[in-house]
Chains A and B, each alone.
Chain A
Amino acid sequence: MSAGERPYAITLDIGSSRANRTGDWRTERPVYVRRMPPCNHACPAGEDIQAWLYEAESGGDGYERAWRALVASNPLPAVMGRVCYHPCETACNRVQIDEAVGINSVERFLGDEAIRAGWELPRPAPPTGRRVLVVGAGPSGLSVAYQLALRGHHVTVREQAPKPGGMMRYGIPAYRLPREVLDAEVERILALGVQLECSERIEDLGAAMREGAYEATFLAVGAHVARHTEIPGGTATRVIDAISLLHELEEGEPPQLGRRVVVYGGGDTALDAARSAQRLGATEPIVVYRRTRERMPAHATELREAEQEGIAFQWLSTIAAADGEELTIERMRLDEHGYPQPTGEYEQLDADTVVLALGQDADLELLQGLDGIEVEDHVVKVDERMMTGCPGVFAGGDMTPADRMVAVAIGHGARAARCIDGWLRDVPARPEPEVELAGFDQINPWYFTDAPRTVQPLLESVRRQTTFEEVVTGLDEGSALFEARRCLSCGNCFSCDNCYGVCPDDAVIKPGPDGAPYAFDLDYCKGCGICASECPCGAIEMVPEEI
């Protein structure tokens, strides 16, 4: 506009405030961050839970994307959705708003959906020609085989039992994990070209490696040898161990137990044995445990389900002696350190069969003759790469020092696969970057309303006492979607537009439909920090400007 055309008394052209770059007022700048959600942090299998819940929240096609994100770390989601004790849910920040997100039930839904729809695992990389032997087809063996196959390596899995699965098949009863689910997920791994040889026991690992020209081995033989205890006078009493009971049950030849079954022990295996015994016809299974209910190592959900099914418990008790069908039980008390101590008070208990559930050890005979392997407390020591003292021999799962859980084993397999791959290619595995944990203090809970957790239905009680049908039923699609959407997305943007909305300076650039991330317009951002304090999920951090 030239001077002559301006209205009366106007001497300057009209300008926009955009000429005024208010960004230079700033002393702090907002930065989008990705913090470690507590669920991911707690997951022994190393799943990126928040990421797959994010995909599942879309519903529809999102389920397959979610499943793909899930199987990046865990090839057995339908199994884990049933048997995992979900430390993720214990860690979930949502506990502090209402209840934890039912992560495990959504995992199961996705796993079942994949089986139903026939989704296939990713295609492996082109063959590398490198050969790896995996000993044991339990969760860690299957996990490492899957991860190595994806990287293009040739993997042979040798399994001593007639069928793959390890403790998932021979330790976890079918009412917790239906075998068709296990079979379907194992089948999918084998379809990647993993070679499985069952009923093959390796006596001499060194020889087996040389014969098969394997460059690396992953040992995953598990812990299948039951611990025993001497029961005085017990020769006339029928004593079996829980792990044999479960194994024989799986092979279709369950032992005769009688009506009165006493299970001795306090872990999950004791409960599995008692619940299985009841399903086999024992009318009065009793779990005898030396300590109290609170100190029982079994998981709370297992205990609750056992009690619902009518399993009886005798706490603070040990079997002092056995005489035919009569057991002498000694009452115990806990000392100040929580250890059970004898009291000298006795009582009698009738028993047709005593089932010992005192834990298991690994059978490490195959390691004889290998140099450098260190065994401590009946388990094999491994370094941070999961490698034993013998170069090229890695190990994981129950035979190594760790919690004995399927999720831990799967995590071991995934980590070992990264390290074996690096070892084969002579590239050291990169350490995982440290990521700040997204605690509840980084969540802005105002933005989330109460949404109570969806509970998975349980099979009715009578059928639970007499059949091996699955006890816990999965979520339907609507409930799974609801549950997925309860995720707070801790520490990771979930595209809620809040930062874009609350900026007084219009200095947040919203992504277009192509799904690009949000960005800050630092020419105008004054660094007030409203976006960070109003971010529902703690995905924005204010960092000082360098001046």
Chain B
Amino acid sequence: MSPSRDRGGSGGPDGARRSPGPYYQTGTFAVGGRLLDEGERAVQADEGRANAITKGHRACQGCGEALGARYALDAAMRATGGRLIAANATGCLEVFTTPYPESSWQLPWIHSLFANAPAVATGVAAALRAKGRSDVRVVGQGGDGGTVDIGLACLSGMFERGDDVLYICYDNQGYMNTGVQRSAATPPAARTATTEPLGEHPGNAFGQGKSAPLIAMAHEIPYVATATVADLRDLEAKVTRAMGLHGPRYVHVLVPCPLGWGSAPAETILIARLATESGLFPVFEALDGRIVGVSTIRRRVPVEEYLRRQRRFAHLFEGDGRPDVVAHLQALADRNIERFRLIAADDGTGDARASGGADARADADIDLLDALAAGERGP
């Protein structure tokens, strides 16, 4: 290798792939760094970041949603020069930021009902169009309950009509602020208040639930992506890319919930990382219904490493445990890895890292229709 390498990664600003920061200490995934140029740092490294959700909010210790929402909206605020309006569904995010009369929001923000955030966002966009304000952009946002279950009809309508809204779903896999009930995004075998760990099939049932990102792709809208709070640069790149497009766009962000998942507050980012590194949560990006990029796994882990850190899966490991259920979850992860090509083809180490990303991006040309034709179900 050339001795004059001073840029560790292959990541570029356009990347939907996992991109290490170009070079502090030859390749780091950290937020910023004193040796990086401004443009090479994450939005979150900026002292002048929008802080769309400011301090004093009432989210739990280590809340992934508070983090994910700030990451996403700060990136959107930068992309729009601060000209942004948010419509919010009912849910944790709405509750912990706006106990009347206080607000954590540092952008114009509107809440109406649980089910109608996409429709409200549509209305805001229509009002702006009517006023001739093409400079102001709109995001709709909600949790997985408000998006995948209750608001799905409004969301589908927004997609179908072609409204100029970016909708962001913060997926913590359940109804958390009402006491951790199951949603259609709750993973199989997970304990919730409504899926008790009892009987032969403890926790949430296998074979149910739905993938909102794949549903969104089926609308063939301009942009769909998944992301997690474990890969800030990837999330920021996707939101930035989405704000560069018009029409309906959808970003689905995995945000671990220490309360509902029974994980340590300090491990929120670690848990999200393990979700992707195990293959349980595929991180990808699609244009016009076609997957154009995936984040390859850097250091593959068995699903058990992810599951054991969460009390919602504790029943799988108590006493004799349920190795059959763990194996079933592992099979789901393996299928994701195969289906979304989450391991770079030419890498036998299981450590795709920076070099794998670019190749994988070109390589991963998975058509949703192929996937559906093969009889696949959502993750």
Contacts and interface: CB of A to CB of B under 8 A. Distances in A.
Interface of A: 10, 12-22, 25, 57-58, 446-452, 454, 475-476, 478-479, 481-482, 485-489, 494-498, 500-502, 504-507, 510, 512, 521, 523-524, 526-530, 532-534, 536, 542
A14 to B, nearest CB: 6
B45 A18 contact: no
A12 B3 contact: no
A450 B30 contact: no
A343 to B, nearest CB: 47
Interface stretch (B218-226, B268-276, B366-374): B268-276
Contacts of B20: 449
A448 B25 contact: yes
A56 B97 CA distance: 44
A15 B266 CA distance: 30
Given A450-B353, A478-B4, A479-B4, A495 B266 contact: no
A14 B266 contact: no
Contacts of B6: 478, 481-482, 485
Given A20-B57, A530-B268, 7 more contacts: A447-B28, A449-B28, A486-B25, A487-B25, A497-B44, A501-B42, A501-B232
Given A18-B56, A20-B58, A448 B28 contact: yes
Nearest to A486: B26
B31 A528 contact: no
B31 A497 contact: yes
B314 to A, nearest CB: 21
Contacts of B58: 17, 20, 22
A501 B44 contact: yes
Given A20-B56, A526-B61, A533 B269 contact: yes
Given A482-B3, A497-B41, A17 B104 contact: yes
A450 B24 CA distance: 13
Contacts of B273: 446
A488 B26 CA distance: 10
Interface stretch (B63-71, B126-134, B135-143, B166-174): B63-71
Which 7 residue pairs of A and B lie closest in terms of their CB atoms, listed nearest first?
A449-B27, A501-B31, A497-B32, A529-B266, A17-B56, A528-B62, A501-B44
Nearest to A20: B56
A16 B102 contact: yes
A463 to B, nearest CB: 21
A21 B56 contact: yes
Contacts, number: 193
B265 A57 contact: no
A369 to B, nearest CB: 57
Given A449-B28, A498-B30, A521-B55, A17 B67 contact: no
B54 interface: yes
B9 interface: yes
Given A20-B102, A512-B47, A502 B269 contact: yes
Contacts of B53: 506
A159 B64 CA distance: 68
Contact of A58 (B9, B27, B35, B353): B35
B266 A528 contact: yes
Contact of A504 (B4, B8, B34, B70): B70
Contact of B57 (A14, A17, A447, A495): A17
A450 B62 contact: no
A500 B31 contact: yes
A526 B44 CA distance: 19
Interface string B95-116: 0010111111000000000000
B80 to A, nearest CB: 20
Residue with the greatest number of chain A CB neighbours at <10 A, chosen from B8, B44, B45, B55: B55
B33 A495 contact: yes
A450 B266 CA distance: 26
B59 A504 contact: yes
B104 A16 contact: yes
B67 A502 contact: yes
B3 A479 contact: yes
Contacts of A446: 29, 273, 298-299
Residue with the greatest number of chain A CB neighbours at <10 A, chosen from B20, B30, B42, B269: B30
B266 A13 contact: no
A448 B102 contact: no
Contacts of A504: 59, 62-64, 66-67, 70, 268
Interface in B321-363: 351, 353-354
A536 B30 contact: yes
A449 B353 contact: yes
Nearest to A57: B35
Given A501-B44, A529-B265, A530-B266, A485 B25 contact: yes
Given A485-B24, A485-B25, A18 B55 contact: yes
Contacts of A13: 101
Contacts of B99: 17
| Chain B interface helix/strand/loop/mixed | loop
A451 B268 CA distance: 28
B103 to A, nearest CB: 6
A454 B3 contact: yes
Contact of A17 (B26, B70, B103, B264): B103
Contact of A452 (B1, B45, B102, B354): B1
Contacts of A475: 3
B15 to A, nearest CB: 15
A246 to B, nearest CB: 33
Contact of B269 (A16, A451, A530): A530
B32 A496 contact: yes
A512 B32 CA distance: 14
A528 B25 contact: no
Contacts of B232: 501-502
B103 A15 contact: yes
B261 to A, nearest CB: 14
Contacts of B298: 446
A507 B55 contact: yes
A447 B29 contact: yes
Nearest to A502: B269
Contacts of B29: 446-447, 449
A15 B101 contact: yes
Contacts of A12: 100-101
A273 B3 CA distance: 34
A494 B25 contact: yes
Contacts of A25: 61
Contacts of B365: none
B86 to A, nearest CB: 15
Contacts of B1: 452
Contacts of A19: 56, 102
Contacts of A482: 3-6, 26
A533 B26 contact: no
A530 B256 CA distance: 12
B306 to A, nearest CB: 14
B24 to A, nearest CB: 6
A505 B66 contact: yes
B26 A451 contact: yes
Residue with the greatest number of chain A CB neighbours at <10 A, chosen from B4, B61, B264: B61
A529 B265 CA distance: 7
A533 B35 CA distance: 23
A500 B26 CA distance: 21
Contact of B265 (A479, A498, A528): A528
A123 B267 CA distance: 50
B30 A506 contact: no
A505 B26 contact: no
A20 B265 CA distance: 20
Contacts of B4: 476, 478-479, 482
Nearest to B273: A446
Given A448-B27, A482-B6, A497-B41, A528 B102 contact: no
A171 B110 CA distance: 79
13 contacts: A17-B57, A19-B102, A22-B55, A22-B56, A451-B26, A486-B26, A489-B25, A496-B30, A497-B42, A501-B32, A505-B55, A528-B258, A529-B266
B66 A497 contact: no
B135 to A, nearest CB: 25
